[in-house]
Structure 1
Amino acid sequence: MPDLVPVPPQVTVPGHFGEWIQGRMGADGPVALVTLACPALCARAPGRALRVRDHFSAARLEAFADALGLAAPEWPEIDCDMPLGAGAGASTACLVAAARAAGFEGAPERLARACLALEGASDPLMYDAPDRLLWASRRAEVLRVLPSPPEAEIVGGFWGAPEVTDPGDDAFPDIADLVEFWAQAVARDDLAAVAGIATESARRCSVLRGPGDPMSDLARDLGALGIARAHTGSARALIFAPGRVPDGAEAILGEAGLDRVVRFSTGGAG
C-alpha cells in the first residue's frame, strides 16, 4: 500500500466589509480606519482558485518571503470569497493566508510590515481582533487599541466598479472628531451611536469621493440603524441590531442593484 501524503491544514483568514470609519487623523495626519470585520467572507489556503504568483512579481514575492524569514516557500493556491478591489480585504487576506500556509508563525506586526512593503497599504486582518484597532493603513501601525464594537447584524453587497487601493491616495475627510466619538460609543456598547458614527463617516467619504449609492434610502425603508461603506472599494452595508433584520432584506438590496448580497453578524466582546 503506497504511503499517504499528508494534507496540510487549511488556513482561513476572515475579510472585512468596508470600514466603520476611515479618514485622516487631522488635516495632515495619517489615513486611519476601524475595519468592519466580516467572518462570512474569507481567504483560504491551500485552495484552488487564485495563484499568488499570478498577482505579484517573483521579485516582490521573494522580498515578501525574506521579510517573513521564509526560505524559498512554495506559495499555495488560494480560495477567496471576496472580489478584488471591493473593499473587503481580499488582497490582505490572501497574503496573510498564503504566508501562514507557507509556514510563517511570527508576530502579526511583522506580517503587517511585510504586506505593507509588498502593496503599500494593508488592512489589519493579520490580527485576532482587527475591529478593535485604530489602524494606520499606509503605515501598518496600530494607533490605538479600542473596545470591540457592539454586536450587530449586517446586510450588504457591492455597488459599482471595483477600486483598487492606491497607497498614495490620501484624499479622505478628517475623522479625528469621529474617532473620539467612536471610542466613547464602543466603551459604553452603544450600537445606535456606533451606527450613527459609521453613517457620518460614510457620508463624508461619499461627499468627497463618491460614488452615489442607494444606501440611505434603503436604510430608511428597511429601518436600519445606519450604513457603512468601503471608503475605497464597492462594499456597502446596512447596520441592524441583532435579530432586527426585516424579512426579505437581502432580496431588496439585490433589487436595488447591489451584487453578491451577504448577511452576517459582527462585533461583540467575544
Structure 2
Amino acid sequence: MFAFVPFGIRSSALLLAFAALLAGCAGPAPERADPAEPVDGAAALMLSQSPSAVGEAPAGWRPWIIRHDKTKTRYRVARASVGGHERAVLHAVAESAASGMWVPLHLPAAQAPYVRWSWRTDAMIERADSARPEAEDAPARLVLAFDGDWRKLPLRDQMLAETARMLLGREVPYATLIYTWDAGKPVGANLANAHTSRIRLKVVESGPERTGRWLDYERNYVQDYIELFGEEPGTLIGVGVMTDSDNTRGYAESWYGDIQLWTPSRTALGELPDGPVID
C-alpha cells in the first residue's frame, strides 16, 4: 500500500494508525440501534452468534478503509466447521487489496486484560514480510487500538498526530498493538514500525506449518502492551481485523472467529447477562 502521508511515511502499517485506524474514515456506519456504538464495560465480538446472513457484512462491525482508491479486502459472514461445530465466521479475501473491519469500544484495559480469538488461513502470501515496508502484508491480523496522553510523547509523534487530526478531522489512536501471522519471523518476535513508535507488532503465528486449520490464541494484551510500549495501556478504544495483500500484489484468504475480552476471575465477559455482545 503506497500513499502520500506527511513526512514521507509510506508504510501500510503506519497508515493503520494515521489513516484513521479504528476511526471510521470510511464514513458513518449504517444507522442501527445496536451495540455497534462504543460501549462502556466489557464486550465480546461474537461472530458465531451473528444474525447476518451468509454473504453479508457482519452486523455491528464497521468497514475500516485505508485508502479509498485501493482495492478493498472483502469481508463477509460465512459458515465454517470450528472445533467440530458449524458456526458463523468472518471470511476475508484480499486480492492485491487492503482494508479491515472493526468495532469501537471504550474499555479500561484493567477491566478485561486478556483477549481470546481464533483464525484460519490456508496459505501464506508469497514474498510477504512484516519487517519490510514494501512487503508488509499478512493473511491475518488482530488489531487493538488505545487512547493515551500524546503530551508525553516526543515532539515528532505529537506533530504526526496533529497532522493526522487536521487531515482526517478526528482523533487517531495513541497506540496500536497488532497480533500478526508472519511469513517467517519467529513466534514471540516483537516488530516495530519503521516510521513510528506508536505501532508495534507481536508475531503469534509464523510460516505455513499450521495453515489449513483453525487456531486459538489467548494473550494478556496488557502485559504485551507494557512489553512493547514500556508503559501501562490506556483505554481500549477499538478492536479490528485485517487481511491485506496490496504491497506484494498477492492473494490472501482467511477466516476469523469470535473475539473475547475477559479476566480470569470471571466468565468470558461477553457472555455475562449484563455484558454487551457485539455480533
Indicate the TM-score class for this superposition, using the shorter chain for normalisation: under 0.3
Q: As a proportion of its length, which structure holds more strand?
A: 2
Q: How high is the TM-score relative to the length of structure 1?
A: 0.26
Q: How high is the TM-score relative to the length of structure 2?
A: 0.26
Q: As a proportion of its length, which structure holds more helix?
A: 1
Q: Which has the larger radius of gyration?
A: 1
